[in-house]
């Protein structure tokens, strides 16, 4: 009764679970997360989490949502650095995106992976945070098109899908360890940036 962890009511179980789960995922990957072990770690019975999350997907969605909030903030910060030239910001964005994925591979996997997005397992709550994040990618692309950095021809949405797809693809090849490793990151990003910017150069 005196020890906080042995009270019948934990007090702040929801955030305790989120915290512990986030740590676990970051260190050992999404697949290693077991609700039962998690509950035990937090010092609570195995079905207590169900009073705070509908199911395992609910927990995962909440963690992913937090990731999207953080990334959205980071992206906006880079994009709004008015002191830097658009091209410099573009390059920085690319490096930052891939760097973020490489630094938090497990979280990235959760945020953009099949677990949550396949079969409609994503919570409405998660969608509410993620979609504006996707939308922002399109806004940036439109801006870079208007700045003459990217080709003006394609629709912003279409082009955003391709440029974002490129970053996403590079990130996944890295994370999954497919024919690319961390020592290639900088060169890959530079190559990608150069490729995109060259594409618009001959249309001026």
Partner DNA sequence: CTTTAAATCTTGACAGTGTCAACATAGCCT
Partner DNA sequence: AGGCTATGTTGACACTGTCAAGATTTAAAG
Asked if 179 interacts with DNA (CB under 7 A), we say no
Asked if 25 interacts with DNA (CB under 7 A), we say no
Query: What count of residues does the chain have?
Result: 204
Q: Which two tokens stand for residue 49?
A: 């989490």
Q: Report the 10 Å Cβ neighbour count for 33.
A: 20
Q: What are phi and psi of 25, to 5 degrees?
A: -60, -45
| Contact status, residue 24 vs residue 17, Cβ threshold 8 Å | no
| Span interacting with its own copies, options 18-26, 34-42, 81-89, 174-182, rule CB under 8 A | 174-182
Cα angle 45-31-112, degrees, rounded to a multiple of 5: 115
Asked if 15 interacts with DNA (CB under 7 A), we say no
User: How many binding residues for DNA (CB under 7 A)?
Assistant: 23
| Contact status, residue 198 vs residue 124, Cβ threshold 8 Å | no
User: How many binding residues for its own copies (CB under 8 A)?
Assistant: 46
Site for its own copies in 18-47 (CB under 8 A): 29
Q: 130: which residues sit within 8 A by CB, 6+ positions away?
A: 64, 65, 68, 111, 122
Q: Which of 18, 29, 50, 147 binds DNA (CB under 7 A)?
A: 50
Q: Which two tokens stand for residue 176?
A: 């999954």
Asked if 118 interacts with DNA (CB under 7 A), we say no
Return the one option of its own copies, DNA, none that residue 164 interacts with (CB less than 5 to 8 A, by type). its own copies
Using CB under 7 A as the criterion, which residues of the chain lie in contact with DNA when the complex forms?
A: 7-11, 13, 33-37, 39, 44-48, 50-52, 55-57
Using CB under 8 A as the criterion, which residues of the chain lie in contact with its own copies when the complex forms?
A: 29, 109, 112-114, 117-118, 131, 134, 151, 153-154, 158-159, 161-162, 164-173, 175-180, 184, 187-188, 191-192, 194-196, 198-203
């Amino acid at each position: 009764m005196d020890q906080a962890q042995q009270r019948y009511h934990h007090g702040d179980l929801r955030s305790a679970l989120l915290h512990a789960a986030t740590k676990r995922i970051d260190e050992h990957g999404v697949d290693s997360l077991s609700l039962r072990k998690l509950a035990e770690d937090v010092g609570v019975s195995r079905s207590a989490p169900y009073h705070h999350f509908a199911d395992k997907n609910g927990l995962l969605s909440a963690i992913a949502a937090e990731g999207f909030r953080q990334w959205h903030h980071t992206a906006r910060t880079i994009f709004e650095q008015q002191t830097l030239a658009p091209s410099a910001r573009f390059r920085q964005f690319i490096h930052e995106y891939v760097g973020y994925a490489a630094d938090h591979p497990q979280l990235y996997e959760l945020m953009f992976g099949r677990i949550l997005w396949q079969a409609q397992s994503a919570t409405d709550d998660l969608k509410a945070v993620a979609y504006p994040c996707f939308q922002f990618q399109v806004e940036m692309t439109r801006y870079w098109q208007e700045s003459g950095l990217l080709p003006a021809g394609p629709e912003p949405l279409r082009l955003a899908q391709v440029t974002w797809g490129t970053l996403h693809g590079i990130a996944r090849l890295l994370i999954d360890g497919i024919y690319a490793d961390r020592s290639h990151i900088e060169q890959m990003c530079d190559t990608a940036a150069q490729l995109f910017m060259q594409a618009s150069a001959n249309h001026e």
